[in-house]
A and B are shown apart, each in its own frame.
Chain A
Amino acid sequence: MTILKTTTLQSDPVERQAVPDPTPMKASDMVRFRQVNKRFGETVVLRDLDLDVAPAEKVAVIGPSGSGKTTILRLLMTLEQPDSGTIEVDGEHLWHKANKRGELIPADEKHLRTMRTHLGMVFQHFNLFPHMSVLRNIIEPLVRVRGMSREEAATRGRTLLDMVGLAEKECAYPGRLSGGQQQRVAIARALAMEPKVMLFDEVTSALDPELVGEVLSVLRELAQQTDMTMIFVTHEMRFAREVADRVVMFDQGQIVEQGPPCEIFKDPTSPRTRAFLKAVLEH
């Protein structure tokens, strides 16, 4: 598994970028960030980020709040645009496409929509549609985006609700469910679209402590059973240790350290990782 690579790609803004990618992507990369920069006003959120994720790999991104972890997911989900650098998903550029001369130009909405089919995201605040029943939350995107028949979509929806342990709640509205239940529906909804890469953005941070367990156990099972690529931004260190193939420690817009969970948690090399883990685990 490739972890960190240095590239020679210049950090041009997306608009002006016309440099053919000099480092051909390995067939094994599912997600690839190259020299990605993102700033919000004066604040630099991502600094020359290089990150590779292999197919079926489960990556946990940890680090202090405001370190830019969530931005990684938001750029992948096309909710934010990178200022410079390139992101590839399953061998294709996410924010760019090649023109006739093979130069990278900013992608249009059509390209983004195609690319989004590879990605799914679960949010910190669930973001279920409150005016739709649980089952309809899952069915509508399948019908409207995937062109599935209602019956077929309902069958898939029920299977997934069963998987997250909420088969009996299909007619309920999100407002009637606990946070943990809502998040499990949100997981089912994202899974229904069968993305290649699933993004989990602090999915237990908004939950009452007693509800965290039910969501994590669903995720644990999911991670073990599927060969979907998964990226978790999380503050749950025990979960990261159990589920992740690799832990990425992130601070101030950069990767500080990464490796197998046993290494990162038992014997971190960076003082920043050590300080962070000490603060989190003592808490």
Chain B
Amino acid sequence: MSWSWEFTWEILPELAKAALVTIEATLLGSVLAMVIGLVVALLRRSHSRLVRGATIAVTEFIRRTPLLVQLYFVFFALPAYGVTLSPLVAGVLTLGFHYGTYTAEVYRAGIDSVPRGQWEAAKALNLPRRRIWSMVVLPQAIPAVIPALGNYVIGMFKETPLLSGIAVIELLNQAKLISSETYIFLEPITLVGVFFLLLSYPSAILIRRAEARISRR
């Protein structure tokens, strides 16, 4: 069997539509992961030991278990407790929480890189703790870690095919549907790979540029 361009053009629109779902899941999951990561990073610096301990326990648990298992749990097991989510919502939430535990580490590194003198100057000026975070520390910590966060977005993008496991019609799932109807795998699966490459490679270059710009500062 050889490559059929005719078949390729025929399935392209369907796959492109599914690619939009992949992108949607990645973007929503990323926003969620950025927010959760920041919250986790801040909770880990809480004055309360209980809060710090609980945060560490939860994040370790999430990081030490496979994403696919978490997806299955959220989508298939939670309904037993009355929590029924649509596939895409379950997928985005799980991606967001899973990656949030990793972006938290990125934020932590950024926060640690802010010199102690900045905290001390802010305290000497009597800024309240909240303002020290929002005005002094985070505006310096976050720009420095944007490339690292971007790398997690690409990482998450490449993990979205796992959502096919919970019936999200994203790229891979769409390709599988086509293949199961036509018994042709070559074109659909190849196209999926090409889609991922076309989107992730330019993103990676953008991130590398951002990194270079930040290190020049």
Known: A123-B120, A141-B126, A145-B127. 6 other contacts (CB 8 A): A78-B123, A113-B126, A116-B124, A123-B124, A127-B117, A129-B122
B45 within 8 A of A: no
**In the complex the two chains form, is A131's CB within 8 Å of B139's CB?**
yes
- Which residues on B sit within 8 Å (CB–CB) of A127? 115, 117-118, 120-121
CB distance from A208 to the nearest CB of B (A): 19
- Among the interface residues B120, B125, B131, B135, which one has the most CB atoms of the partner chain A within 10 A? B125
Cβ-based interface call for B128 (8 A): yes
Other-chain contact of A79, B115, B120, B127 (Cβ < 8 Å): B120
Query: B128, A113: Cβ atoms under 8 Å?
Result: yes
A43-81 contact mask (Cβ, 8 Å, vs B): 1 or 0: 000000000000000000000000000000000011100
Given A113-B126, A113-B128, A141-B127, A128–B121 Cβ distance below 8 Å? yes
Q: Which listed residue, A130, A144, A186, touches B140 by the CB 8 Å rule?
A: A130
Considering the chains assembled together, what is the distance between the CA atoms of A118 and B8 in angstroms? 75
Residues of A within 8 A of B (CB): 77-79, 113, 116-117, 119-121, 123, 125, 127-131, 140-141, 144-145, 186, 189-190, 193
Residues of B that sit less than 8 Å from A by CB = 115, 117-118, 120-128, 131, 135-136, 139-140
- The residues of A that contact B117 with a CB separation of less than 8 Å are 123, 125, 127
Pick the contact of B126 from A79, A116, A125 — CB < 8 Å? Answer: A116
Chain A residues near B115 (CB-CB < 8 A): 127
Interchain CB contact under 8 A, A77 and B118: no
**26 pairs, A vs B, C-beta closer than 8 Å:** A77-B124, A79-B123, A113-B128, A116-B123, A120-B124, A123-B117, A123-B121, A123-B124, A127-B115, A127-B118, A127-B120, A127-B121, A128-B121, A129-B122, A129-B136, A130-B140, A131-B139, A141-B126, A141-B127, A144-B128, A144-B131, A145-B126, A145-B128, A186-B121, A190-B124, A193-B126
Per CB-CB distance, the 3 closest pairs between chain A and chain B, nearest first, are A127-B121, A127-B117, A141-B125
For residue A188, give the distance in angstroms from its CB to the closest CB of chain B.
12
B125 partner residues in chain A, CB cutoff 8 A: 120, 141, 145, 189-190, 193
**Chain A residue nearest in CB terms to B124:** A121
Query: For the complex, what is the distance from the CA of A119 to the CA of B121, rounded to whole Å?
Result: 12
Q: Which partner residue on chain B sits nearest A131 by CB separation?
A: B139
CB distance from B3 to the nearest CB of A (A): 53
Q: How far is the CB of A228 from chain B (nearest CB, A)?
A: 15
Shortest distance from the beta carbon of A196 to any chain B beta carbon, whole Å: 13
* A interface majority secondary structure: loop
Contact A119-B139, Cβ < 8 Å, known A125-B117, A127-B117: no
Which chain B residue shows the least CB distance to A73?
Answer: B124
Docked Cα-Cα span, A202 to B127, in Å, equals: 23
Q: A130's closest neighbor in chain B, by CB? A: B140
Q: Measured between C-beta atoms, what is the minimum distance from A15 to chain B in Å? A: 17
Chain B residue numbers with a CB within 8 Å of A117 are 126
A131–B127 contact, CB under 8 A? no
Q: How far is the CA of A131 from the CA of B144 in the complex (A)?
A: 12
A125 cross-chain contacts in B, Cβ below 8 A: 117
Shortest distance between the CB of B50 and any CB in chain A (Å): 19
How many angstroms between the C-alpha atoms of A88 and B127 in the bound complex? Answer: 22
- Give, as a whole number of angstroms, the nearest-CB distance from A233 to chain B: 14
Tell me if B140 and A131 are in contact (CB < 8 A): yes
For B139, the chain A residues whose CB sits under 8 A away are: 131
Residues in chain A near residue B120, CB distance under 8 A: 77, 79, 123, 127
Q: Which residues in A have their C-beta under 8 angstroms from that of B140? A: 129-131
How far does the Cβ of B142 sit from chain A's closest Cβ, in whole Å?
Answer: 10
Whether the Cβ atoms of B135 and A144 lie closer than 8 Å is: yes
List the B residue with the shortest CB-CB distance to A189: B125
Cβ distance A247 to chain B, nearest Cβ, rounded Å: 24
A144 and B124 contact, Cβ closer than 8 Å, known pairs A127-B117, A129-B136, A130-B140: no
Q: How far is the CB of A77 from chain B (nearest CB, A)?
A: 5
Contacts of B127 in A (CB 8 A): 141, 144-145
- B136 CB contacts on chain A under 8 angstroms: 129
CB-based contact B124/A119 at 8 Å = yes
Quote the shortest CB–CB distance from A40 to chain B (angstroms). 15
* Residue of chain B at shortest CB distance from A115: B126
A123 to B136, CA, bound (A): 17
A193→B127 CA distance, assembly (Å): 11
Partner of A129, one of B118, B123, B124, B128: B118
